[in-house]
A and B are shown apart, each in its own frame.
Chain A
Amino acid sequence: MGKLLSVSLSPHVHSGNSLKKEMRGVIIAMIPAMLVGFYFFGFDAIRVTAISVIAAVGFEFLIQKFILKVEPTITDGSAIITGMLFAFNMPSNLPIWIILIGILVAIGVGKMTFGGLGQNPFNPALVGRVFLLVSFPVQMTSWPKLSPMNFSMVDAETAATPLALVKEGLKNGDKLSDLLNQIPSMLDMFIGGVGGSLGEISALAILLGGIYMIWKKIITWHIPVAMLGSIAVFTGILHLVSPEAYAGPLFHLFTGGAMLGAIFMATDMVTSPMTFKGMLIFGVGIGVLTVLIRVFGAYPEGVSFAILIMNAFVPLINTYVKPKRFGEVKK
């Protein structure tokens, strides 16, 4: 008869979706933000990104092969994404040894201890970042000054980010309008030209990546819109109530990690809810927590903590928020 026929249950065709394609799409979406980071922070940014990615892949390989003794799965691309996102959250003047510790925590604790791909409840890049923030607060908050196209290896000078500046100033009782004069304009902050982590400085670049991912159906609009929307509404109300004591919505949207968090970190599939309604609840929760921490909390930046806290709620959201069943029999 010839070769044997293959027998399986239906369906017998597949869409062609694959892990590699999903991961590739995310990586492509991250390229604009990465290039902006390279442009403004020069060689340091390239160094941090390269080390993060290589270390992420390397640690995952070593842990899988020698500690867990399973087949290494580094070719699925998820470690590369964790490495890149982790780098995006770092100031580009971070010493190598701190980066390595952070990546080890991100991959080892944030992902592998829970069982590898698909099992972790917390965003691994954020686990690494928060660990470093708490352990090395000085190095993690000395932001380098922007030095466009500077590819020499000379250490850059440091300067405070707009978020930190405004928070300090408002705490000391300065008026908002005075403080806003000291920082770059809204347009600059949108396109890129403010200090911060190497991936978060250009809202425009991040937005382009987000639109690409929505077009390729890798993420949907629900989490970014819910998160950014709730940040805008909450800060908008505060700003209306007391314009000199609270910064407005545009400021909060374009500074710090709000855009990066909304488009790349909160939308991480593994750690976000499985239903659209759940995603909206998740996004609103992150937005509210972010503003609370930024405005009333001790830290100038609240996105990382907000996302991690809401990650913890995701199993609860998944249990109680179910998709609309067809033919629901109302009792």
Chain B
Amino acid sequence: MLKTFPVGGVHPPENKFSVGKQIETLPLPKTVTIPAGQHIGAPTQVLVKRGDVVKVGQLIAKAGGFVSANIHSSVSGKVKKIDEVFDSSGYRKMSVLIDVEGDEWLEDIDKSDELKKEITLSKEEIVKKVSEMGIVGLGGATFPTHVKLSIPDGKKAEHLIINAVECEPYLTADHQLMMEKGEEIMIGVSILMKAIGVSKAIIGIENNKPDAIEHLAKIAANYSGITVEALKVQYPQGGEKQLIKALINREVPSGGLPLDVGCVVQNVGTAFAVYEAIQKNKPLFERVVSVTGKNVSKPSNFMVRVGTSTDVLIEAAGGLPSDSGKVVSGGPMMGKALSRTDVPITKGSSGVLIFKEEEAKREKMNPCIRCAKCVTVCPMGLEPYLLMTVTQSSDYERVEKERALDCIECGSCSYTCPSTRPLLDYIRLGKGEVNKIIRSRNQK
């Protein structure tokens, strides 16, 4: 019996068209647009100005506080301008535009493929270096990793959980990374274990990646304390609360964090980035991105420098098909639809999905038939039909009472609704308004 979370979940078709495709390093683009904010938290302070010459790995924007992250240049060249340009959020954001010249890296970055197993830094030094290297969660949330690794007084971590589930359909970036960089990932996991002071780490992988499970399990045998667990294929297995429940049967309390049940969860891509940062002095400036879709002629996994335009990736995957209706950054269940394709790849871009026009359009909304399918599939035990109705009535007190803030926005409810009601749209609206009310309540 494979482990899984007990309540809710859906089974969207996997459509992993880019599975098994070797990670391809794209040729350097002519220009990059590096947004000054690619993380959750305080905005950064841009350190360079127009005309400055930068090298690969150079710090170009400094973290604006503890919950913030450094931004490093992914290319070498001259800064063209600092300006507000469109990014994947659909708004113009402050970005550093660089004209690429050559590929000169900072001297202390180790470019070799040599595997460095020995961890020489102490616990505190690791956390400090993770922060300096601008590491953020690569699962998509981009939460600054050093904040997660800084265990506050009074809390203790017992488990490190590595999220290698990749439960979203279409995406294969993590899968391919595990197959090609398994040893490096394992060392990264050991570094993370040392950073938070735990002796046990569990790598959770969904059962639709048997080759990755086998590969990592073999490598893990040589490391103490690291186990690999196969999990049932069910969305959202990769949601951190569901993952913790499945692996160690503990529920993160409402309004709480994984640390409240003794866990720290990190994405497997983040573990790889930590290895490169600690062992190779390499800051975070490139990542694996899957470009895929039913009508994409060359579905691929690319190693991309941050700031490369999404257009470049789509071209490399065979070009934007003429019958395309939607381009999504991330996965189909929780990703962000792009209004234009000339936006940059950032630290949080895990995939570029292209949908055909017929697939892209939403169906018209029908009245709720109270079939309770949304209640059945909600992994957090909420009632989406009710949250939508009370949000439409602007009864935000009731929205809060019905625990809308527990919603992890996985999209299972909207996915399954036979009346194609935009449940998650309204739940998000309700959550936003409730958060506004709570903020003003706390200010009083």
A152 at the interface (CB under 8 A from B): no
CB 8 Å contact bits of B411-437 with A (1 = contact, 0 = none): 100111111101011001000000000
In the complex where A19-B366, A327-B241 touch, is A6 in contact with B326 (Cβ < 8 A)? yes
Binding site secondary structure of chain A: loop
In the complex where A19-B418, A118-B367 touch, is A12 in contact with B335 (Cβ < 8 A)? yes
B257 vs chain A, min Cβ distance (A)? 11
- Interface pair B425/A9, CB less than 8 Å apart: yes
A111 vs chain B, min Cβ distance (A)? 12
CB 8 Å contact bits of A1-44 with B (1 = contact, 0 = none): 01101111111111101110110000000000000000000000
Interfacial residues of chain B within 285-313, with CB under 8 A of chain A in the complex: none
- Interface pair A5/B339, CB less than 8 Å apart: yes
Task: Output the nearest chain A residue to B327 by Cβ-Cβ distance.
Answer: A5
A208 at the interface (CB under 8 A from B): no
Size band of the A side of the interface?
35 or more
- Interface pair B355/A10, CB less than 8 Å apart: no
- Interface pair B375/A11, CB less than 8 Å apart: no
Interfacial residues of chain B within 26-80, with CB under 8 A of chain A in the complex: none
- Interface pair A326/B381, CB less than 8 Å apart: yes
B251 at the interface (CB under 8 A from A): yes
Residues of chain B within 8 A (CB-CB) of A7 are: 90, 326, 337-339
B333 at the interface (CB under 8 A from A): yes
Residues of chain B within 8 A (CB-CB) of A323 are: 7, 375, 378, 381-383
Residues of chain A within 8 A (CB-CB) of B337 are: 5-10, 12
- Interface pair A118/B368, CB less than 8 Å apart: yes
Residues of chain A within 8 A (CB-CB) of B251 are: 326-328
Task: Output the nearest chain A residue to B235 by Cβ-Cβ distance.
Answer: A11
- Interface pair B7/A13, CB less than 8 Å apart: no
A62 at the interface (CB under 8 A from B): no
The interface stretch among A83-91, A126-134, A268-276, A295-303 is: A268-276
Query: In the complex, what distance in Å separates the CA atom of A218 from the CA atom of B419?
Result: 14
Residues of A that sit less than 8 Å from B by CB: 2-3, 5-15, 17-19, 21-22, 73, 76, 78, 116-119, 269-275, 322-329
Residues of B that sit less than 8 Å from A by CB: 7, 10, 12, 90, 169, 241, 245, 251-256, 322, 324-328, 332-341, 353, 355, 357, 359-363, 366-373, 375, 378-383, 385-386, 403, 406, 409, 411, 414-420, 422, 424-425, 428
Q: Which 8 A-B pairs have the closest CB atoms?
A: A11-B411, A17-B418, A118-B367, A325-B381, A274-B372, A269-B371, A326-B380, A13-B332
